[in-house]
Protein backbone atom coordinates (compact mmCIF):
# COMPACT_ATOMS: atom_id res chain seq x y z
CA UNK A 1 0.00 0.00 0.00
CA UNK A 2 1.22 3.52 -0.72
CA UNK A 3 0.34 6.30 1.69
CA UNK A 4 0.71 9.93 0.72
CA UNK A 5 0.57 12.36 3.62
CA UNK A 6 1.24 16.05 4.03
CA UNK A 7 2.19 17.49 7.38
CA UNK A 8 1.33 21.13 7.93
CA UNK A 9 1.97 22.86 11.23
CA UNK A 10 1.81 26.48 12.25
CA UNK A 11 4.41 28.93 13.46
CA UNK A 12 8.00 27.91 12.93
CA UNK A 13 7.25 24.23 12.35
CA UNK A 14 8.19 22.85 8.98
CA UNK A 15 6.01 21.39 6.24
CA UNK A 16 6.88 17.87 5.22
CA UNK A 17 5.71 15.61 2.41
CA UNK A 18 5.73 12.03 3.63
CA UNK A 19 5.40 9.16 1.18
CA UNK A 20 5.79 5.52 2.16
CA UNK A 21 5.72 2.51 -0.07
CA UNK A 22 4.77 -0.41 2.11
CA UNK A 23 8.27 -1.37 3.24
CA UNK A 24 7.68 -3.71 6.16
CA UNK A 25 10.91 -2.68 7.82
CA UNK A 26 9.81 0.92 8.34
CA UNK A 27 6.79 0.27 10.54
CA UNK A 28 5.03 3.18 8.81
CA UNK A 29 2.58 1.20 6.67
CA UNK A 30 0.47 -1.90 6.84
CA UNK A 31 3.23 -4.06 5.35
CA UNK A 32 3.68 -7.39 7.05
CA UNK A 33 6.48 -9.70 8.03
CA UNK A 34 6.35 -13.47 8.13
CA UNK A 35 8.04 -15.85 10.48
CA UNK A 36 7.99 -19.43 11.67
CA UNK A 37 7.02 -20.68 15.10
CA UNK A 38 8.22 -23.96 16.58
CA UNK A 39 5.18 -25.95 17.66
CA UNK A 40 7.14 -28.87 19.09
CA UNK A 41 8.42 -32.06 17.54
CA UNK A 42 10.22 -30.14 14.82
CA UNK A 43 6.98 -28.90 13.23
CA UNK A 44 6.62 -25.22 12.40
CA UNK A 45 3.80 -22.92 11.44
CA UNK A 46 4.04 -19.78 9.39
CA UNK A 47 2.43 -16.60 10.71
CA UNK A 48 2.00 -13.05 9.48
CA UNK A 49 2.41 -10.04 11.74
CA UNK A 50 1.61 -6.48 10.70
CA UNK A 51 4.68 -4.30 10.94
CA UNK A 52 2.59 -1.37 12.18
CA UNK A 53 1.67 -3.15 15.43
CA UNK A 54 4.34 -1.44 17.47
CA UNK A 55 3.72 1.43 19.92
CA UNK A 56 5.49 3.38 22.66
CA UNK A 57 3.19 4.90 25.31
CA UNK A 58 4.61 7.84 27.27
CA UNK A 59 2.66 9.25 30.22
CA UNK A 60 3.91 12.64 31.44
CA UNK A 61 2.40 13.22 34.90
CA UNK A 62 2.92 16.52 36.69
CA UNK A 63 4.04 16.27 40.32
CA UNK A 64 2.71 19.69 41.33
CA UNK A 65 0.77 19.92 44.59
CA UNK A 66 -2.20 21.07 42.49
CA UNK A 67 -2.45 17.63 40.90
CA UNK A 68 -4.80 16.29 43.58
CA UNK A 69 -7.69 16.92 41.14
CA UNK A 70 -6.11 14.46 38.71
CA UNK A 71 -5.25 11.71 41.17
CA UNK A 72 -8.54 9.79 41.09
CA UNK A 73 -9.49 10.09 37.39
CA UNK A 74 -5.97 9.07 36.40
CA UNK A 75 -6.18 6.13 38.76
CA UNK A 76 -9.55 5.13 37.32
CA UNK A 77 -8.16 5.31 33.79
CA UNK A 78 -5.24 2.94 34.39
CA UNK A 79 -7.17 -0.36 34.78
CA UNK A 80 -9.41 0.58 31.85
CA UNK A 81 -6.35 1.28 29.69
CA UNK A 82 -4.60 -1.92 30.81
CA UNK A 83 -7.72 -3.99 30.09
CA UNK A 84 -7.96 -2.65 26.55
CA UNK A 85 -4.27 -3.30 25.99
CA UNK A 86 -4.57 -6.90 27.15
CA UNK A 87 -7.78 -7.51 25.19
CA UNK A 88 -7.14 -5.62 21.94
CA UNK A 89 -3.37 -5.16 21.71
CA UNK A 90 -2.15 -8.59 22.80
CA UNK A 91 -0.49 -9.09 19.40
CA UNK A 92 1.17 -5.65 19.45
CA UNK A 93 4.72 -4.91 20.59
CA UNK A 94 4.30 -2.18 23.21
CA UNK A 95 6.38 -0.16 25.65
CA UNK A 96 4.91 2.00 28.46
CA UNK A 97 6.73 4.59 30.55
CA UNK A 98 5.86 7.36 33.02
CA UNK A 99 7.87 10.57 33.50
CA UNK A 100 7.41 13.74 35.56
CA UNK A 101 8.45 17.32 35.02
CA UNK A 102 11.45 17.82 37.30
CA UNK A 103 14.56 16.09 38.61
CA UNK A 104 13.48 15.82 42.26
CA UNK A 105 13.01 12.61 44.22
CA UNK A 106 11.35 11.91 47.54
CA UNK A 107 10.30 14.27 50.32
CA UNK A 108 12.71 16.71 51.94
CA UNK A 109 11.07 16.61 55.38
CA UNK A 110 11.07 12.82 55.36
CA UNK A 111 14.71 12.73 54.31
CA UNK A 112 15.58 14.83 57.37
CA UNK A 113 13.53 12.59 59.65
CA UNK A 114 15.04 9.47 58.10
CA UNK A 115 18.52 10.78 58.92
CA UNK A 116 17.56 11.57 62.51
CA UNK A 117 15.13 8.81 63.45
CA UNK A 118 15.33 6.17 60.73
CA UNK A 119 11.73 6.76 59.65
CA UNK A 120 9.38 9.55 58.67
CA UNK A 121 7.07 8.73 61.54
CA UNK A 122 3.36 9.44 61.47
CA UNK A 123 3.79 12.08 58.77
CA UNK A 124 4.52 9.41 56.15
CA UNK A 125 4.97 6.00 57.81
CA UNK A 126 5.54 4.14 54.53
CA UNK A 127 8.31 6.47 53.32
CA UNK A 128 11.27 4.36 52.04
CA UNK A 129 14.06 5.60 54.29
CA UNK A 130 16.20 2.60 53.36
CA UNK A 131 16.19 3.38 49.62
CA UNK A 132 19.17 5.20 48.15
CA UNK A 133 18.04 6.95 44.91
CA UNK A 134 20.21 6.45 41.85
CA UNK A 135 21.06 9.05 39.21
CA UNK A 136 18.22 7.99 36.90
CA UNK A 137 15.71 8.62 39.70
CA UNK A 138 16.73 12.28 39.50
CA UNK A 139 17.09 12.69 35.73
CA UNK A 140 14.56 14.70 33.74
CA UNK A 141 12.77 12.46 31.25
CA UNK A 142 13.89 9.21 32.89
CA UNK A 143 11.15 6.65 33.48
CA UNK A 144 9.69 6.42 36.98
CA UNK A 145 10.73 3.23 38.74
CA UNK A 146 10.80 4.06 42.47
CA UNK A 147 8.49 6.98 43.27
CA UNK A 148 8.56 8.45 46.76
CA UNK A 149 6.86 11.29 48.63
CA UNK A 150 3.36 12.60 49.16
CA UNK A 151 0.63 10.80 47.20
CA UNK A 152 3.13 8.35 45.73
CA UNK A 153 3.50 4.58 45.81
CA UNK A 154 6.54 4.98 48.13
CA UNK A 155 7.86 1.71 46.81
CA UNK A 156 9.81 0.24 43.93
CA UNK A 157 7.41 -0.63 41.13
CA UNK A 158 7.80 -4.29 40.09
CA UNK A 159 8.88 -3.59 36.50
CA UNK A 160 10.00 -6.76 34.74
CA UNK A 161 13.53 -6.97 33.42
CA UNK A 162 15.02 -4.18 35.52
CA UNK A 163 13.90 -1.52 33.04
CA UNK A 164 12.21 1.83 33.63
CA UNK A 165 9.34 0.96 31.31
CA UNK A 166 6.86 -1.86 30.77
CA UNK A 167 6.78 -4.33 27.88
CA UNK A 168 4.61 -7.23 26.75
CA UNK A 169 6.38 -9.43 29.31
CA UNK A 170 5.02 -7.43 32.25
CA UNK A 171 2.83 -9.39 34.70
CA UNK A 172 0.17 -7.46 36.65
CA UNK A 173 0.14 -4.69 34.03
CA UNK A 174 -2.54 -2.54 35.66
CA UNK A 175 -1.05 -2.66 39.17
CA UNK A 176 2.48 -1.92 37.98
CA UNK A 177 1.41 1.00 35.80
CA UNK A 178 -0.67 2.32 38.72
CA UNK A 179 2.46 2.26 40.88
CA UNK A 180 4.41 4.20 38.26
CA UNK A 181 1.76 6.90 37.70
CA UNK A 182 1.81 7.80 41.44
CA UNK A 183 4.80 10.08 40.94
CA UNK A 184 4.31 12.08 44.16
CA UNK A 185 3.47 15.74 44.73
CA UNK A 186 5.63 18.75 45.55
CA UNK A 187 9.27 19.76 45.11
CA UNK A 188 10.78 21.81 42.29
CA UNK A 189 8.67 24.75 41.08
CA UNK A 190 10.59 24.95 37.78
CA UNK A 191 8.72 22.12 36.10
CA UNK A 192 9.45 21.41 32.46
CA UNK A 193 6.80 18.92 31.47
CA UNK A 194 7.37 19.30 27.74
CA UNK A 195 11.13 19.01 28.16
CA UNK A 196 10.63 15.78 30.09
CA UNK A 197 8.74 14.38 27.09
CA UNK A 198 11.42 15.49 24.63
CA UNK A 199 14.20 14.10 26.82
CA UNK A 200 12.35 10.81 27.34
CA UNK A 201 12.60 9.97 23.63
CA UNK A 202 16.02 11.51 23.03
CA UNK A 203 19.00 9.38 22.08
CA UNK A 204 20.91 10.37 25.22
CA UNK A 205 18.48 8.52 27.47
CA UNK A 206 17.55 5.78 25.00
CA UNK A 207 21.00 4.74 23.85
CA UNK A 208 23.17 2.02 25.36
CA UNK A 209 23.51 2.53 29.10
CA UNK A 210 20.89 5.32 29.15
CA UNK A 211 18.17 5.50 31.78
CA UNK A 212 15.48 4.60 29.22
CA UNK A 213 17.64 2.29 27.10
CA UNK A 214 15.66 1.05 24.07
CA UNK A 215 12.32 2.51 25.24
CA UNK A 216 11.81 4.75 22.22
CA UNK A 217 11.70 3.14 18.78
CA UNK A 218 11.63 5.24 15.65
CA UNK A 219 9.57 2.70 13.71
CA UNK A 220 6.82 2.52 16.36
CA UNK A 221 3.79 4.69 16.95
CA UNK A 222 4.29 7.19 19.77
CA UNK A 223 1.36 8.04 22.08
CA UNK A 224 2.02 10.83 24.57
CA UNK A 225 -0.46 11.62 27.34
CA UNK A 226 0.33 14.75 29.36
CA UNK A 227 -1.57 15.38 32.60
CA UNK A 228 -0.50 18.62 34.22
CA UNK A 229 -2.00 21.31 36.44
CA UNK A 230 0.41 24.06 35.40
CA UNK A 231 1.61 25.66 32.22
CA UNK A 232 5.14 25.00 31.04
CA UNK A 233 7.09 28.23 31.58
CA UNK A 234 10.59 26.80 31.60
CA UNK A 235 11.03 24.58 28.53
CA UNK A 236 13.06 26.61 26.02
CA UNK A 237 11.43 27.53 22.72
CA UNK A 238 7.86 27.95 21.50
CA UNK A 239 5.03 25.40 21.32
CA UNK A 240 5.62 25.16 17.56
CA UNK A 241 9.30 24.40 18.12
CA UNK A 242 8.45 21.83 20.81
CA UNK A 243 6.16 20.02 18.38
CA UNK A 244 8.72 20.22 15.60
CA UNK A 245 11.33 18.71 17.91
CA UNK A 246 9.10 15.80 18.89
CA UNK A 247 8.11 15.13 15.29
CA UNK A 248 11.76 15.18 14.26
CA UNK A 249 12.21 11.94 16.21
CA UNK A 250 9.76 10.38 13.76
CA UNK A 251 11.43 11.89 10.72
CA UNK A 252 8.49 14.29 10.43
CA UNK A 253 5.96 11.47 10.11
CA UNK A 254 3.01 13.10 11.87
CA UNK A 255 0.85 10.02 11.28
CA UNK A 256 2.99 8.08 13.77
CA UNK A 257 2.24 10.38 16.72
CA UNK A 258 -0.86 10.92 18.88
CA UNK A 259 -0.74 13.47 21.72
CA UNK A 260 -3.29 13.85 24.53
CA UNK A 261 -3.18 16.96 26.71
CA UNK A 262 -5.11 17.32 29.97
CA UNK A 263 -4.35 20.57 31.80
CA UNK A 264 -5.89 23.60 33.49
CA UNK A 265 -7.87 25.09 30.62
CA UNK A 266 -9.06 28.19 32.47
CA UNK A 267 -7.88 30.36 29.58
CA UNK A 268 -10.74 28.92 27.51
CA UNK A 269 -13.39 30.41 29.78
CA UNK A 270 -15.09 27.06 30.36
CA UNK A 271 -12.70 25.25 32.64
CA UNK A 272 -13.50 22.72 35.34
CA UNK A 273 -10.30 24.04 36.98
CA UNK A 274 -11.42 27.65 37.43
CA UNK A 275 -10.13 27.78 41.01
CA UNK A 276 -6.57 26.79 40.07
CA UNK A 277 -5.95 29.54 37.56
CA UNK A 278 -2.72 28.50 35.84
CA UNK A 279 -2.14 29.68 32.28
CA UNK A 280 -1.73 26.50 30.23
CA UNK A 281 -2.28 28.05 26.81
CA UNK A 282 1.26 27.13 25.75
CA UNK A 283 0.50 23.45 26.41
CA UNK A 284 -2.75 23.69 24.49
CA UNK A 285 -0.85 25.24 21.58
CA UNK A 286 1.74 22.45 21.74
CA UNK A 287 -0.87 19.67 21.66
CA UNK A 288 -2.85 21.45 18.95
CA UNK A 289 0.20 21.38 16.65
CA UNK A 290 -0.26 17.63 16.13
CA UNK A 291 -2.55 16.33 13.45
CA UNK A 292 -3.66 13.48 15.74
CA UNK A 293 -4.40 14.91 19.17
CA UNK A 294 -7.04 15.63 21.79
CA UNK A 295 -7.22 18.12 24.65
CA UNK A 296 -9.29 18.56 27.79
CA UNK A 297 -9.35 19.74 31.37
CA UNK A 298 -7.29 17.85 33.94
CA UNK A 299 -10.13 18.55 36.40
CA UNK A 300 -12.61 16.40 34.49
CA UNK A 301 -13.89 13.31 36.27
CA UNK A 302 -13.21 10.83 33.47
CA UNK A 303 -9.99 10.51 31.47
CA UNK A 304 -10.97 7.26 29.79
CA UNK A 305 -12.45 8.86 26.63
CA UNK A 306 -9.13 10.56 25.93
CA UNK A 307 -6.99 7.45 26.08
CA UNK A 308 -9.70 5.58 24.17
CA UNK A 309 -9.41 8.07 21.33
CA UNK A 310 -5.68 7.38 21.11
CA UNK A 311 -6.15 3.60 21.23
CA UNK A 312 -8.89 3.72 18.60
CA UNK A 313 -6.60 5.77 16.37
CA UNK A 314 -3.92 3.07 16.59
CA UNK A 315 -6.33 0.28 15.73
CA UNK A 316 -7.92 2.17 12.84
CA UNK A 317 -4.67 3.48 11.39
CA UNK A 318 -2.94 0.10 11.51
CA UNK A 319 -5.94 -1.57 9.92
CA UNK A 320 -5.89 0.72 6.87
pLDDT at residue number 106: 92
**Average of pLDDT values for 82-109?**
95
**Which of 90-94, 144-148, 276-280 has the least mean pLDDT?**
276-280
Instruction: Evaluate if residue 248 carries a pLDDT over 80.
Output: yes
**Average of pLDDT values for 172-200?**
90
For every residue of 51-72, DSSP letters joined together read TT-EEEEEEEE---GGGHHHHH
Rounded CA separation 207/41 (Å)? 39
Instruction: Evaluate if residue 169 carries a pLDDT over 80.
Output: yes
Q: Name all domains of the chain by residue range, CATH numbers in brackets.
A: 51-103+135-319 (3.40.50.410)
Residue 44 pairs in a beta bridge with 38
End-to-end CA distance of the chain: 9
Residue 97 pairs in a beta bridge with 58
**Average of pLDDT values for 67-88?**
95
pLDDT at residue number 50: 75
Segment 103-120, tens digit of pLDDT? 989 999 999 999 999 999
pLDDT at residue number 45: 37
pLDDT band at 275 (very low <50, low <70, confident <90, very high): low
Residue 160 to residues 64, 89, 95, 295, Cα–Cα distance (Å): 28, 19, 12, 32
pLDDT band at 33 (very low <50, low <70, confident <90, very high): very low
Burial of 132 (0-12, 13-18, 19+ CB in 10 A): exposed
Rounded CA separation 169/34 (Å)? 22
pLDDT band at 270 (very low <50, low <70, confident <90, very high): low
Amino acid sequence: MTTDAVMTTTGDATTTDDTTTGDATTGDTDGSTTGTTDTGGGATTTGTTKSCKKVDFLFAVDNSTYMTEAYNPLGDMVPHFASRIEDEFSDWDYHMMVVKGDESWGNELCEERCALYGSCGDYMPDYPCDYDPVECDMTLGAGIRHPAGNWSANDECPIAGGKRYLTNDQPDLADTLDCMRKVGLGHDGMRRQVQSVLDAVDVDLNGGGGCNEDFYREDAYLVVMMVTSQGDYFTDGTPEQWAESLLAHKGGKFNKVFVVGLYDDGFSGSSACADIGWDSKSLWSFVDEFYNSSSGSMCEDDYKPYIDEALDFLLDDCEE
